[in-house]
Structure 1
Amino acid sequence: MKSVILKVANIIGETGVYRFLCPGRVPVFMLHRVTDGSDGIPGDMTAERLRGYLRYLSSRGYSVLTMDQLWQFLNKGTSIPSKSVMFTIDDGFSDHHDVAAQVFDEFGFPLNFFVITGLLDEQLWPWDDQIAYAVNRTRISVTDLQLPFGGKYSVNLADIGLRRTIREIRNALKIVNQEHVYQWLSAELYSKLEVDFPDTIPREYRPMSWDDARSLKERGHGVYPHTCTHRILSTLALEEKQHEINEARKRVEQELAQCPDVFAYPTGRPSDYDRADIEEVKRAGFKMAFNTVPDYIRAGCSQYELPRFSLPENTADFLQIVNRFEALKEKVPRQPNRSRSFLPTR
């Protein structure tokens, strides 16, 4: 019954009635990994599904905004088409350039890349992905992990399985000081799970190159910093925050010969950054910053806490956001929490 109601609601949404009732709302979609089906890339968004979404937007006259167009809307009050959306993709993996960008190029749509500069420099790969890598390769069923700065997590794969274990270790690390999280991975996680620490970044986590990033800029896409190491800013001391923000900005400027003015907070929940982080982002010269709160951007919202929807895994949810039915639901009291598919995936 629920799926039938949603289908009918989306059909009505294509008439534009929800956009009329909820004007001035722009959905920004966030991707992480895009697979072509044969590359072994972890993640649920396939190139074909993404292509289907963009085909829908193209066939119905939607505008896919650039960062500058969004800035003009927020800061200058410039009008934008009611049928407007934006897309971002986080981290800087090779599939972002090799797969995702290729799909967007087919339609002439811009995609905005938030890159971990340490990943593109091949100095590291994200700590949360390393957890998945190690847990998926261990033959140990039960062990205790000593978490950074105290606390313990008891691994019991026989009881709760791989996916839940990965999620729980990630969540445990999100609330502790992450200053030495990468040292902890090699010294504690890999050691206790008896998994060899890779000498090089594994193929499935291989980054795009800075040459790739330059190519993206030349093709009309945006490339912006997402910190140096993807550590959660709210857990870090002031000097570490400043390094993550300023050095990432400097590296993008050095490589792309263009001063980046947009930033994305790692993991991006309201608990993952604080007022000090926002002030540092401002001082660094950024004019906009994105989190991962699932909501629409509208005039008057904070330019340093811009929300994003995770790109849904099914078309009905995608249409619900695009056609602003999700915005209309906000006006109806006692609505249930958003679908899990709208929530951040990391």
Structure 2
Amino acid sequence: MSKENEFIPKDFEFEKLVKKAKRRSMLKMVLISLSISLIVLTGLYFIGDTVMKMKMEKETSLDSTWNGIMGANIEEQGTTYNYSPISATTKTKLVKKVGGVPIPWGEQEKVFTIFGTSRLITTDGPSGSGSIEDERIPLFYQGERVIEFYHPEVNYKQIFDDRVLLNQIDDNSVVEMAFSFNKGYSIEEVNKVFKDKLAWYWVDTFSKDDIKEHNELNEEENIPRGHTISGFEAYGFQYNNHPKTEPAFNFISILEMIKSDGGNYQNEAIEIYNNITNKGKIKLEPENLKIIGVVVTGKPSDLKKYNDNSMINGATLGATTDQY
């Protein structure tokens, strides 16, 4: 560079304008980037929120439907929804109706997120306490006894009969009792005997492999007590006293629906369907359902009339409460 060029006077005003233009350009780019990011994030949030609500609606509906056939004498009382900016929680209250009196039976709680995930966060369940030498350790939940069933084709170490306890319970109370039958009966046969106090039917959903597995568990020498089916694990349907309503239709329609599109319950529904229909060889109709047990409710004096019934192979006491 020549000396002549070195002494050209600088234009400070022009440089200021250039720097100002650069700052404006940089600020503009930052604002545009922030605006685009905000728009994208807002869009993603609303998409995630919409997906979460759709998933929550579908899963809650499926849970409610499945609860219609799983759990002995357990009914839903209602679901509440709690929302936060990135998640939502559902709480479904469950009850047992014993002699017309609703008894709280815990909650099913789930959390959903805008990222498309969901998980069950309820952790409590039935439990029992006692010594290994005890002949029997009853299960309790919510401070009440949990009913248990005995399958007619499973050989148990011992089958208990809690009907003797009815003499020890005040007749101002109402009680729930599960009767396990000595074989499978039709709905009509069951209704003739238990209709007055009937609350719930236990349907035989066992396969030959299931029966074999339960027999093996009950043959285990290391297990001092028999392996029963708790009321939480049993499948069936509520009794409906409407003269023109077949209560089994609800059980059948739920099973058919979940079998076709049942999310996490679909495989289980397919397995139950195959067990009942012998893999489609028998139609899924009320007359083809085998009832292997029932839940009855009422005052102790009301249930004593079943003391000598030949259909009953075992009886377990469930929840109890005051009638008034």
Between the two structures, name the one with larger relative contact order (CA 8 Å, sep ≥ 6).
2
- Give the TM-score normalised by structure 2: 0.28
More helix by share: 1
- Give the TM-score normalised by structure 1: 0.26
Larger radius of gyration: 2
More strand by share: 2
